[in-house]
Amino acid sequence: MNVAFQGVHGAYSEAAARVMLGKEISTSPCETFGQVFERVERRRSDRGVIPIENSLAGSIHENYDLLLAHGLHIVGEIHERIEHALLCPRHSTLGDLTSVRSHPQALAQCSKFLLAHPSLHPVPFFDTAGAASAVAMDARPDTGAIAGAHAARLYGLKILKRNVENSANNYTRFLVLSRTPFGKFARGAKTRSSIVFTPAANRPGILFHILGVFALRDIDLLKIESRPDPRSAFEYRFYADIAGGPHEEHVARAFEHLGEIVSQFRLLGTYPAAVGPGLRRRPRGAGRY
C-alpha cells in the first residue's frame, strides 16, 4: 500500500500514516496538500493522509476546501500528540549548538525551552522534518533542529532532548483518504461521519433547526464549526461530525431530513471513530454535544 502525505520524509503526517496503516506501507511525500489528493485520485497512491485540525491551531480550512473540491472519502482518523525533540549531528553536544532550525510554528511552540537556552539561535525553516534533513546533510556540529523523534532515526541524528514543547496539549487529528468509501462496519462498531452543509435559508435560528435534525434522533454531535467567509455572503458553511453513519437507519433518515433544510450537503465519509491517546481517558458520555 502506498500512502501520499504532505511534507518530506519524517513529517508528522508520515508518522501518523504508519500508526494508522502499518509500518510496512510505502510513503510518497508531496509538496502540497492538493498534490496528496491528486496522487490518490490518479491512482498513484492508494491512500492519502492529511491533518484536519490541531488542538492549538484549530481546523485546517485548506484541507476542508480540498475535501469539497475532490471526490475522495474519509475512511479513518487518528489523534496524535505532537512531541518536538531537539536533534543534532551525532557528535554534537548541547554546548556545541548555536543555532536551531525548525518551522516557525514549532519554534514558537518551544519558546520556553529556547528562552531558557539563549545560546540557541532559532532559524526558521519550511518544515520540521526538512530542517532535520538539512541538519543531517550539512552535518555542522553547531546546527541542530527541532522536529519529531522519528525524524532523528530517519536522518541519523542524535536526540539531545525530548519534549521541548511548551504545552503537552498539542494534538493533531489526521484523516485517511481513499477513492472508495469504508466498506462494511462490524456490528456495534463506533463510527463517526463528517459532513459539510450550507443552510438553504438565512434566518435567525436556522442552525437550531438543523441541529434539531440530530438532537431529536438522539444522534451525538461531536464537532460543529461555522466557516468564516466574508467574501461570498451566501456561502457560509458548517463543518460537523456526528456519531454513527448512514448504514444506521436513524442517521440515514437524519441526512434525508437535513437535505430538506440545507442547500448544499456533502458526506465526506463515515469511518471507525478513533480513540486517541487523550481520548482513551475520556469518560463515557464526554464530548457529547
Contact between 53 and a copy of itself by CB under 8 A: the answer reads yes
Contact between 99 and a copy of itself by CB under 8 A: the answer reads no
Applying CB under 8 A, among 45, 173, 245, 273 the residue interacting with a copy of itself is 173
Applying CB under 8 A, among 9, 18, 61, 140 the residue interacting with a copy of itself is 61
Kindly state the smallest distance separating residue 191's Cβ from a copy of itself, in Å.
Answer: 15
Active site residue 172: yes
* The one catalytic residue among 174, 182, 214, 255: 174
Active site residue 174: yes
Applying CB under 8 A, among 1, 32, 138, 263 the residue interacting with a copy of itself is 32
- What would the DSSP string read from start to end of 108-125? HHTHHHHHH-TTSEEEE-
Helix (H, G, I), strand (E, B) or coil at 154: helix
Query: Rounded to the nearest 10 degrees, how much is the dihedral formed by the CA atoms of 234, 52, 144, 28?
Result: -110
Contact between 121 and a copy of itself by CB under 8 A: the answer reads no
Applying CB under 8 A, among 116, 183, 231, 260 the residue interacting with a copy of itself is 231
Kindly state the smallest distance separating residue 135's Cβ from a copy of itself, in Å.
Answer: 15
- For residues 8 and 5, give the distance between their C-alpha atoms in angstroms, rounded to a whole number: 8
Nearer to a copy of itself, 181 or 276 (CB): 276
* The one catalytic residue among 172, 182, 197, 270: 172
Task: Tell me the window of 87-95, 118-126, 156-164, 177-185 that interacts with a copy of itself (CB under 8 A).
Answer: 118-126
The H or E element spanning position 237 is strand 237-243
The 3-class secondary structure across 176-206, one letter per residue, is EEECCCCCCCCCCCCEEEEEEEEECCCCCCH
- For residues 82 and 129, give the distance between their C-alpha atoms in angstroms, rounded to a whole number: 13
Task: Tell me the window of 35-43, 137-145, 259-267, 281-289 that interacts with a copy of itself (CB under 8 A).
Answer: 281-289
Contact between 285 and a copy of itself by CB under 8 A: the answer reads yes
| Beta pairing, strands 143-147 & 85-88 | antiparallel
- For residues 73 and 110, give the distance between their C-alpha atoms in angstroms, rounded to a whole number: 35
Q: Which of 154, 162, 48, 60 is nearest to 105 (CA)?
A: 60
Question: Which residue numbers are catalytic?
Answer: 172, 174
